[in-house]
Structure 1
Amino acid sequence: MGTRGVEGAYQGALRAFQNPMLALLHQTHAPFVVTVLAMVFTAERPRVAVADSHAEINDALAQLRAAGYGDEDNQPLPTGNARDLCRQWVQAGWLVRQVSDDDVEVYRLSAYGVGALEVAGRVGGVRTRVSESRVRTLLEAIERLAQDADPDVMARIARLHEEIQQRQKELTRLEQGGAVETVEDEQLLEAAENVLHLARELPADFARVAESIKAIQRDVVAELRHDVRPTGEVLREYLARGQRILDATPEGRAFAGALRLIGDPAQIDDLWSHLRTVLRHRFTHLLPEQQRRELTEISRRIEQGVKEVLTAQRQASHVITTQVRNHDPMRDRQVDELLRDVMSGFHKWVPGSRRGEAVEPLRRLPVADVGHLRQRMSDLRPPQPPAPLREWDESEDTADADTRAWGGPRYAELRAHLAAFAGDAESVDVTAAFRAAVEDIQRPVDLLGLLEIAHDAGMTETAEVAVVDTVRPDQTRRRFALGGVVAANPASADRSGGDE
């Protein structure tokens, strides 16, 4: 064995044991930490309020100490209260303290904490063993890898034909009355344990992706705070990185690929259906209660993991966007220079000052002394007043026809036309009256004026939708659709004093 190889392997082991997950499992109070974290943070409750966490951990400490644990000749327990322990666990990287959506401070397990609990659960739980299900999973994964890596079209066509023939043969046998081949309960039990073994890896994977996104968020914000480039340039570079944050890490790219499989609601529904089918089978009674509960919660744990990663991505994008919008590096640099000037002034003033010496306060900010402002630009000509307006001769004719044509509604003509169209009737159809009007009062603005007159006289809306054509002064036509309106006869309203 070479010395160089031993040294390299030893350095790799040292780096591995610096990982917070192995540090948790290697410390003296690891059994207590694993027990408490597993009891407080469950699949149904991944986030716990800070006050509730402290209360539950203090209660667990009191119960264990009352049972005799923590003595010199028994398993040691950590000293201090739950608040101190949680602070230590946050610093060690096993817990994460954050603010929830409803502005409540909560704890959640970090990726290292989840991984440590999974390792402890696998070691202390049912021992995984080599089984037909695990070997089949391995063989199928290798076969799938070989198929995806093989670019030979003819080989893939041959494999598909072989698979179709096998499936067709099985379908023909079942259609001819063949029985479904049953599987022994022992084999089903092994397959269920293999499924649980695979599912236990998912929470730690999801947590690692979420924390990787948060780490990129912290790096980007730190770079923004130390940047002196223009805000627009920073916005284009880092905002794009924040929006594509899943593509920036290996964990994020792997999660994006998995999301295409499990992000489809139909896939989640199928998973729920398959799990219900499994749980109805008699072999599940051979599983311990904890494993049956884990089978039931597989789908929910996947949904929670996907939601946690997407929430982390959304929060990271929001934080980076807000930082870019509100952060002005040049302004912060000026503030820093001003503070340094103030501190420098204090350093110069304090050594020469005496204890109790009166300090004259600064009652107003100093004003820059501007000697002389420039009064005129490069044009040497003196400013001239504008040319006087031309005197208007009242005898001149003004062309007001076009101005009146483009003006507002002609209320007098519209009211007279509506009354004439109504005749002796008590009510009148406003749209029919507008269609019967002359072209001079069929402008779009006259339609609004006619509706205003109908409203003043008292109108009723019908369920009918009416379409009317209007003529603008330049002879262009506009078509409008409006609800049917029946108005009271304005002549009757005038006679009865309704205009008052």
Structure 2
Amino acid sequence: MSNVVAEHGRACDVLARAALRMLDGKWAAFRIAVFRSSFSRERRSVAADLLHQQVDTYMAELVRDGKDVPPSTNGRGLCNQWVDDEWLFRDSTEDGTVFYSLTSGALEALDWVQEMARDRVLVSESRLQTILNEVRRWALEASPDASSRIERLNAEIREREAERDRLAAGGEVATASVDKMLGAYTNLLDLISQLPSDFKRVEEAMLDLHRKFLTDFRNDDRPGLGQMLDDFLARYDRLVMDTPEGRAFDSAFVLLSDEVLLSELQDNLRVILEHPAAEVLDNTDVREIRGAEPALRQGTADVLAQLRRVNETFGEQIVNRNVLEERELDRVLRGIERELADWMEHTGPRTTVPLGLLPPTLKVGHLRERTWDLSTVAPPPPLSREPQEPVTPPTAEELRAMGGPALDDLRAAVVDAFLLGDMDTVGELFNTLPDELRRPVEILGLLHVVSRTGAFDPFAEAEVFEAIRPNGERRNFLVPAATLTPDQAAALDDDTRTLEGTDDE
């Protein structure tokens, strides 16, 4: 006989997972569009009321564009349905704010859609080289033969020494080609895109263990508190190791907590993005690569927060558990059960017992809380009239010093400086402006002007802006460095003239 029955059962189990269910059905595209518009790498959770309003807005926009949306429902109803379908996770903060976040199944489905939308060949030199390096590394780790391990290490040492000597002798540094780097970017994006769903699966596994742990603790009716605590403390020690996700996270936690390694990762990612091949990447891919290190930190923090939640719950259960009161309640319930059995022996099947659901209302007369006090109705003393000195109104210059940025003056300064190539960076330009244009608020105005050219990069290295307040106090601010080409300055000048001509009309 073939194994078609077993394969059919395995396929049914896979198709029943939340990720594939999300991609199935008439409204799959609608769900994907809403989730991708509402959540991102930087926006991992959304307040419940805000998400309800956003879903209503998205539905209205799609209807205006002629697209079909789920009928007879609204944002709140859809979010509740998605929680039941295990695509959204609903939780609350300590202050009672309810929020939604995507489950691991929803993240996996969005990753699949993103990979299919990239339309790139994944079988590349970078992907194959990654496989070969991993196989070589683990073959070295798995081999029990010391001589074989020594031979492999010596070969690697000789290869690296030869490359070092060649470079030291003035050899040419051969950088990767554009095609190779594009393959490396694809491989790297594929690995980075799996991080959020991987961490979310670990977090959900910890949450399931937390719920099971709490249920078992409440249902434990052993009279001996010491024996019960010993049992649950042993289970708590094995909490992380009871699931495959927990074991995987435990093995990787040493690397995730290494600050030096994470800083090195961030530096290496910056070097990779400085290659000329990165110019063909879109902004989404660049943000994905730059966000690898923050994603590792945030995922680790979320899992540790879930573990702390289990720890706090365990402590509260121990503190609040009162075995004596539970025994007393048990005796009361057993006494009620005996009385009920005795009553059933002496009554018929249709006998009723009058039972008051609420206690009677107490009638309490009003008691005077305070005696009459004549001072409470006396008028206040008359106001004294003091001679007032005339107030000098502020001058126009003083009002101007307290106002917003001078956008026109800043735009003109940027155009004049970078059109002629007199300045290297925007920070250098700011530090040479007159004192009235170097207020802290002028920094925001200058960044607003520069952002219209697309030259501002929030992830660039910072430079010092020396601001001067109206009272003469000096303050330094760190702002991402930015520079403009003469073409960008000319484009900014053209936009300014166009706006002025529109105003004149």
In 2 relative to 1, CA 339–92 (structure 1 residues): closer, same or farther, beyond 3 Å? farther
Q: CA deviation at 1:186?
A: 1.1
Which deviations, in whole Å up to 9, do the C-alpha atoms of 1:207-250 show, x marking residues without a partner? 11111111111111111111111222222221343244222222
Query: What SS is found at the alignment partner of 2:100?
Result: strand
Secondary structure in structure 2 of the residue aligned to 1:198 = helix
Partners of 1:189 and 1:360 in 2: CA distance: 74
Q: How big is the shift at 1:353?
A: 3.8
Q: Which residues in structure 2 correspond to 1:307-456 (within 5 Å)?
A: 307-328=301-322, 331-332=325-326, 335=329, 338=332, 345=340, 351-353=350-352
Contact 1:227 1:329 (8 Å CA) reproduced: no
CA gap of 1:158–1:269, structure 2 versus 1, over 3 A, is same
Deviates more, 1:324-333 or 1:128-137: 324-333
Question: Which amino acid in 2 is paired with 1:13?
Answer: A
**Residue aligning to 2:13:** 15
Number of aligned residue pairs: 355
1:156 has 2:156 as partner: no
How has the CA–CA distance of structure 1 residues 134 and 338 changed in structure 2, closer, same or farther, with 3 Å as cutoff? Answer: same
Equivalent position amino acid for 1:39 in 2: S
Aligned to 2:297: 303
Structure 1 counterpart of 2:284, one-letter code = Q
TM-score, normalised with respect to structure 1: 0.66
Of 275, 282, 304, the residue aligned with 1:281 is 275
Given that residues 243 and 317 in structure 1 are in contact (C-alpha distance below 8 angstroms), is that contact kept between their aligned partners in structure 2?
A: no
Whether the 8 Å contact between 1:217 and 1:320 is mirrored in structure 2 is no
The residue matched to 1:26 in structure 2 has which SS? Answer: coil
Aligned-pair distance for 1:101? 4.3
Q: Which residue of 2 aligns with 1:250?
A: 244
Instruction: Out of 139-148 and 191-200, give the one that drifted further.
Output: 139-148
Which shifted more, 101-110 or 192-201? Answer: 101-110
1:50 maps to a residue whose letter is A
Residue 141 of structure 1: aligned partner: 134
Q: Kindly provide the amino acid, as one letter, of the partner of residue 203 in structure 1.
A: P
- Superposed counterparts of 1:256-275, under 5 Å: 256-275=250-269
Question: Residue deviations 1:64-84, cap 9 Å, x none?
Answer: 1111111xxxxx535401111
Conserved? CA contact 2:269–2:290, under 8 Å: yes
Larger CA deviation: 134-143 vs 121-130: 121-130
One-letter identity of the residue aligned with 1:187? K
Query: How far apart, CA to CA, are the structure 2 residues paired with 1:113 and 1:135?
Result: 29
Check 1:220–1:245 CA distance in 2 against 1; reply closer, same or farther (3 A cut): same
SS in 2 for 1:77: coil
The verdict on how the C-alpha distance between 1:61 and 1:260 changes in structure 2, with shifts beyond 3 A counting, is same
**1:171–1:318 CA distance, 2 compared to 1 (3 A):** same
Aligned residues of 1:69 and 1:77 also touching (Cα < 8 A): no
| Residues 107-126 of structure 1 aligned to structure 2 (within 5 Å) | 107-126=100-119
Percent identity of the aligned residues? 31
Distance 1:340 1:121, change over 3 A: farther
Alignment of 1:461-480 (within 5 A): none
Code of the residue aligned with 1:251 in structure 2: it is: E
Q: Aligned residue for 2:39?
A: 41
Q: Which amino acid aligns with 2:146?
A: V
| CA pair 168-101 structure 1, distance change in 2 beyond 3 A | farther
Q: 1:231·1:328 contact (CA, 8 Å) conserved in 2?
A: no
What is the TM-score normalised by the length of structure 2? 0.65
For residues 337 and 96 of structure 1, do their structure 2 counterparts lie closer, same or farther at Cα, with a shift above 3 Å needed?
farther
CA distance in 2, matches of 1:359, 1:271: 66
What residue number does 1:290 align with?
Answer: 284
Asked whether 1:98 is paired with 2:91, we answer yes
Q: How far apart, in 2, do the equivalents of 1:316 and 1:324 lie?
A: 12
Amino acid at match of 1:237: D
Q: CA deviation at 1:262?
A: 2.3
Residue type of the alignment partner of 2:216: E
Distance of 1:360 and 1:262 partners within structure 2: 58
CA distance in 1, matches of 2:142, 2:96: 49
1:140–1:101: structure 2 CA closer, same or farther, 3 Å change rule?
farther
Of residues 224, 229, 234 in structure 2, which corresponds to 1:235?
Answer: 229
Partner Cα separation in structure 2 for residue 77 and residue 251 of structure 1: 35
Q: Which residue of 1 aligns with 2:184?
A: 191
Q: Closer, same or farther in 2 for the Cα pair 1:128/1:330, shift >3 Å?
A: farther
1:330 and 1:60, CA in 2 relative to 1: closer, same or farther beyond 3 A?
Answer: farther
Paired with 1:89 and 1:206, the residues of 2 have a C-alpha distance of 20
Unpaired runs of 5+ residues, structure 1, are 71-75, 364-500
Q: 1:289 to 1:310 in 2, by over 3 A?
A: same
Relative to structure 1, is the Cα distance of residues 166 and 50 closer, same or farther in structure 2, using a 3 angstrom cutoff? same
Q: Which whole-Å CA distance do the structure 2 matches of 1:123 and 1:254 have between them?
A: 27
Q: Output the amino acid matched with 2:351.
A: G
Q: Look up the equivalent residue of 1:242 and give its one-letter code.
A: Y
Amino acid at match of 1:278: I
